[in-house]
Amino acid sequence: MFNRERDRLEAIIRNYYAEKGLPEPDAIQWNAIPFAGEWGISTSFFQLAALEARRGANAPGTPIPERAQQIALEIADRIGVPAGFSHVEAVKGYLNLYYLTSEFTSRVISTVLSEGQDFGRGMTKSERVMVEYAQPNTHHSFHMGHFRNAILGETLSRLVEFAGFPTIRASYPGDIGLGVITIIWMYQKFYFGQEPQGVHERGQWLLKLYVEASRLFEPKENESPQEKALRETYDAERRELYRKWDAGDPEVRALWKMTREWSLEELRVILDMLDIHIDVWFFESEVDQPAKAIVEELIQLGVADDERPEGPVIVRIDEKLGLKKEKYRTNVILRSDGTTLYLTKDLALAKEKFEKYGVDRSIYVIDVRQSLYMQQTFKILELWGFKQAEKCYHLGYGFVSLPEGAMSARRGRLALFKDVYDEALRRVLLEIEQKNPDLAAEQRELVASQVGLGALVYAMLSVDNNKDIVFDIESALNFDGRTGPYIQNAHVRASSIIRKAGGLPEVAPYEGELTNHEIQLVELISRFPATVQQAANEYRPLILASYAYDLADAFHSFYHAVPVLQAETEQTRASRLLLVAAARQTLANALRLLDIAAPDVM
RNA sequence: GCCCCUGUAGCUCAAUGGAUAGAGCAGCAGCCUUCUAAGCUGUUGGUUGUGGGUUCGAAUCCCGCCAGGGGCGCCA
């Protein structure tokens, strides 16, 4: 936020380097002074000293830390105390410049309050980004693994968008495949005409059919010849159904469409609950035909080898790339019966994204287990001559399992999002009953939903992308400490103070000596814009999630230690009220990017 | 066999190659007639899996080893 001061300092430092004939580094690295309650910027001279020593210049034989300290001292002397700073010191090879806190605080607060919801937003950029996430299979129910994916994709989208990039949100449900066909077969054979009432009930019922069907297709131990024959008959029926679907049989397609819609309806309802609004819906079934055309092209180009009818169509990726060691291996892009695969469809989808939607960068938020497939897809695109292949990025994330082990629909070991959500709601309502019994009845449901979701969302975002999550409902629905509700509560407390104050005073210079709590709070607020950029650049919502917690932590400490409404003087009261308003705004902006609601009461 | 990820406090996790490795939970001791106690304050807890290397400086980068997880041609 304070680039002006920085630029001026850098000019002085560079002048000094030039004068002394010191090697000039590409960039001067500034960091925050890492001491609690101190606010300012810092840089060090170890690299410079090391560079100098390597060239054998100036003071030969001086240990690097000592030489760094010499330089720091000389520069401190040269700089003096620039405008806007209270004091400057050279310590252990570091140059520390401390802000005049009241002046900087005034600037931070007026910036936040005038920019409001846009505080922290990056300059608009021209590069258009598409984020693909929310790819659950239809005919299944939305579970906590899908939830992590949806939240990660959504927060990433919000971050990238807020950082200044035009952003398109894309969903890609897997609406066809043998699993889907299996459920339709089950429905047609044993449950034809049935239909449970209720959006979630219907979705979960299809999952039940899948579990039942899986049992029918699993060979039993000591299977009798009759049982085996029956199983094989069923399997033949199922394959025939898939063939019919592929051929466009109207009856099969109608059945498929109806059940598919049941799933999609539930998906839309859940995404709506999560405040996720997808711009573009792609379906696997829709890229099926274009994918086949690409396969033909790849065969013509000699990229793919057609081994039909004995085998499938494959791409020997390493060989085509001229690699000696196996890395991307070989993959099948068309079955011997001419039907497409998951990877094949992704080739067609990539083309559509870039050409139809004009995106410049394409991010895939997909489970890390599909890493190899993603790399293979990108490499085949490259071999095909698709230049934008290098603009495709797979954001992998660790999968969600349960304390009992991996989730498995067939074993009925599944944490369905709707069930977890209902439980969250129940627990938050109990909590409200206990902690805020005065909360108006008509507000309770809404607040409970916001807080429950806040807890669940934060549980997903407080772990880095590449780490697995063992989803334990007890710890996810803990509302104390490093959690969503803790951050929401800071926002609630800030709102409460402003409400009781009956409005905000005019923005004016900050009055009074700042306490350490105030300094720490305002320092964190000032860091928000840079934190947004970093999180967006690194595709890591965790960075913002950690920041939001730190900000809430600083606010809670401030809240406890520093009186606002009861401040000693009217001016101090006014200044602190504005600080509270700035903190509240920054908390709200951070929570919004994290897809967590910022309630005024809880 | 090859490739990828992970290993930090009892547990769950942080830490752009930089100053004293930090939080939460759990444990212990306090704080509600003061702006919401979903909170605050204090405190216990570490050979960063292990052995080398690079560097002025390594949890972080490189190599070996150990342990756990994942992925490797017609599932998605």
The number of CA neighbours under 13 Å toward the Cβ of A303 is 19
Say yes or no to pLDDT of A289 above 80.
yes
pLDDT, tens only, A551-574 = 999 999 999 999 999 999 999 999
Look at A63 and A595; give whichever has higher pLDDT: A595
Q: With a threshold of 0.80, does the pTM exceed it? A: yes
Using the CA of A439, which nucleotide's C1' is the nearest one?
B36
SS3 at position A397 = strand
What's the CATH class of domain A3-99? Answer: alpha beta
Strands A469-470 and A31-32: unpaired
How many angstroms separate the CA atoms of A248 and A468, rounded?
40
pLDDT of residue A59: 61
ipTM: 0.96
Q: What is the pLDDT of residue A60?
A: 64
**CA dihedral over A493, A499, A504, A505, signed as positive or negative:** negative
Which of the nucleotides lies closest to A556 (Cα–C1')? B39
User: Per-residue pLDDT averaged across A384-406, rounded?
Assistant: 93
CA distances from A566 to A215, A553, A569 (A): 68, 21, 8
Per-residue pLDDT at A553: 97
> Whose CA is closest to A101, among A486, A456, A518?
A518
Distance from C-alpha of A42 to C-alpha of A28, rounded to nearest angstrom:
10
- Tell me the two tokens of residue A472: 């334990």
Q: Given this model, what pLDDT does residue A89 score?
A: 94
Residues A244-253: contacts with CB within 8 Å, 24+ apart? A245/A176, A245/A181, A246/A339, A252/A184
Whole-angstrom distance, CA of residue A203 vs CA of residue A140: 7
| A601 touches A436 (CB < 8 A) | yes
For the segment A282-304, the average pLDDT, to the nearest whole number, is 94
CATH dotted code for A449-593 = 1.10.730.10
Q: How many CA atoms does the CB half-sphere of A177 hold within 13 Å? A: 17
Mean pLDDT calculated for residue range A372-395: 95
- Within 7 Å of a protein beta carbon, the nucleotides of strand B are 2-6, 12-16, 18-20, 23-26, 34-41, 55-57, 69-76
Q: Calculate the angstrom distance between C1' of B75 and CA of A249.
A: 23
Interatomic separation, CA of residue A234 and C1' of nucleotide B28, rounded (Å)? 64
Cα gap A410→A215, rounded to integer Å: 8
Q: Which residues contact A238 (CB under 8 A, 6 or more apart)?
A: A178, A181, A182, A185, A217
Summarised one tens digit per residue, pLDDT across range A308-357 is 889 999 999 999 998 888 889 999 999 998 888 999 999 999 999 999 99
For residues A227-246, give the mean pLDDT: 90
Q: Shortest CA–C1' contact from A178: which nucleotide?
A: B75
Retrieve residue A507's tokens: 């923005």
Backbone angle region of A132, left / alpha / beta, with phi > 0 → left and psi within -120 to 50 → alpha: beta
Pull the structure tokens for residue A398: 């660790």
Compute the average pLDDT of residues A370-385: 95
pLDDT tens string A32-84: 998 877 899 999 999 999 888 887 765 667 889 999 999 999 999 999 999 88
pLDDT value of residue A36? 78
Strand order in the sheet with A305-306: A305-306, A313-316, A330-334
- Residue A94 backbone dihedrals phi, psi, to 5 degrees: -105, 145
Q: Which nucleotide has its C1' atom closest to residue A284's CA?
A: B76
- Each domain of chain A, given as residue ranges in start order, spans 3-99, 176-280, 449-593
Sequence-distant (≥ 6) Cβ neighbours of residue A262 within 8 angstroms: A202, A203, A206
**DSSP assignment string, A120-176:** TPPPP-S--EEEEE--PBTTS--BHHHHHHHHHHHHHHHHHHHTT--EEEEE--B--
DSSP-assigned states of every residue in A184-196 = HHHHHHHSTT---
| Residue A594 or residue A407, greater confidence | A594
